[in-house]
Structure formats: C-alpha cells, structure tokens
Amino acid sequence: MTIITRCLLAFVPLALWSTTAAAQLPAPDSDEFCVAVQKILADTAIDGQNTVFSDMPAYRASKPMVDPLEIFQVVTYQGQMPVMVSCKVKTAAHLRDAFGENAAGKQQYCPEITRRAQAQAVAELQGVDPAAAARAAAFVVDDNEPFMTGRNYLADFQLSFIGDDGKVHFNSPGLYQDYDSWMTWMLPEAFQGQSYCHIPTVAYMKALATGAMEPGTVMTTADDAPVTPQ
C-alpha cells in the first residue's frame, strides 16, 4: 500500500468506519435485503414478510402493510450486475403505533443504507485493491431529502454523478410519510407510514471504485427497467 493510499484511508470519516463493524448488508438479490433495510431504517427487530418482484410495474403498484408487516423489493441490473435495490417498508412511527412503543426506535433515512453499502465496499476492497478502497472511501453520499409523493420517487434519476467538487456522489432518493403528522388521518390507509428507498449496491460502488464502470448511471422505474440479470 502506497503512502498516498494510506493517507487517503486515514482520512475516512469515523462515522463511515463505525458502520463497517455492523452486520453486512445481505446480497441485493436476496429476499433478506429489504428485511434488513426495514430493521435499520426503523430500528426494529420485527421481521417483515418481503416480496421480491421480477417486474417493475408490480413493484410500482405495491404498498407495504403494517400488520402483518409486508414489505416489497425490486432489483435493477446492468447486465449481470445488480446496481440498485428499491425497497418499500414501513416507518418507525407506524410500527410503534401497531406493535407498541418498544417496537421501533429512531427513524433513519435512505442515505444511511447507502453509507453502509459504501463502508462495506471499502472493507471488501481493502485486502485486494487498496487504491480502489481509497477511492471508494472518498465517495460522497448525498443527504437526499425524501419525497412526499410516489411520482417523484418513481422519476428517473442519476444513481451516481461527478459533483462540482470533482468527487463521485451517490443519490439515495426515497419517499417518507410522517405517520405522526396531523395530516395522516386524511390519507388512505395504504399511503400512511410509508418509507421507500432506492439504494446503490455494494457491487456497483466497487465497480466505480475499480474503474470497471463510470459514474452517471441513469435509473428508471419504467415498465422495461431491467429487473433480472441480462
């Protein structure tokens, strides 16, 4: 490992390294992935029943339910590589309302999952390609504010891009409905307490870090989105 690489890794934020000690995210094509996302985002131990869709229209139409806890997942591919996982789960506040105050903790948001994916990518690269690990550690995860409407959540977006600072940035767009809001009672039950995310995969981050892929991937939830390996 070169001196420059050592220096780059030394300046990785402590918050990033703290997440590497946490359990690794499941494989993106596993039905455990969004179960883990549900647990992280809502700080809950409740196991949701997860459905992994093989077509995007079915995912778009899905609405997670709280009791029993039913959540949904779809994976977007580029060739054989899973580049993004999309999850629909429930908020911590809705779980507390359904299962009691101790059922969930502090609400987290989509960039938290992306930072865990980044930390995992760095850890997996360190032993095999320290320079790529340093590049992955320098990635910037933007703190995207969650949308309030499904239309915005389902819109096309860049999963990664080069920012004005010259660094590789990642987007983690999501949707969040504040179940504790006074407006919740006005919404149909199917729209209450929803928490949705689009999350770049560890494999995608590693591909950018090694140069196997270039940033700028545009994601879509159109009917023909590649949700199976090609």
> pLDDT tens across 158-201, in order?
999 999 999 999 999 999 999 999 999 999 999 999 999 999 99
- Comparing CA positions, the residue from 87, 103, 93 lying closest to residue 34 is 87
Q: Where are the alpha helices (DSSP H) in 167-211?
A: 202-210
Contact 199, 113 (CB under 8 A): yes
Assess if residue 161 is contained within a domain: yes
Each residue of 14-48: pLDDT tens digit?
Answer: 344 444 445 799 999 999 999 999 999 999 999 99
Domain count, the chain: 1
- Residue 138: inside a domain: yes
Give the model confidence (pLDDT) of 67-113 as tens digits.
999 999 999 999 999 999 999 999 999 999 999 999 999 999 999 99
Instruction: Classify 68 as helix, strand or coil.
Output: coil
Tokens representing 17? 């390294």
In a domain, 228, yes or no: no
The whole-model pTM stands at 0.90
Q: In which domain, by residue range, is 120 found?
A: 3-219
pLDDT at position 22, please? 56
Could you tell me which residues come within 8 angstroms of residue 219 by beta carbon, excluding any fewer than 6 positions away? 76, 83, 84, 156, 157, 158, 159, 198, 225
Handedness of CA 74, 148, 48, 67 (dihedral sign): negative
Buried b (16+ CB within 10 A) or exposed e, 12-25: beeebeebbeeeeb
Residue at 204 is within a domain: yes
Question: Does residue 123 lie in a domain region?
Answer: yes
Task: Answer whether residue 230 is part of any domain.
Answer: no
176 in a domain, yes or no? yes
In eight-state DSSP terms, residue 161 is E
- Residue 226 falls inside a structural domain: no
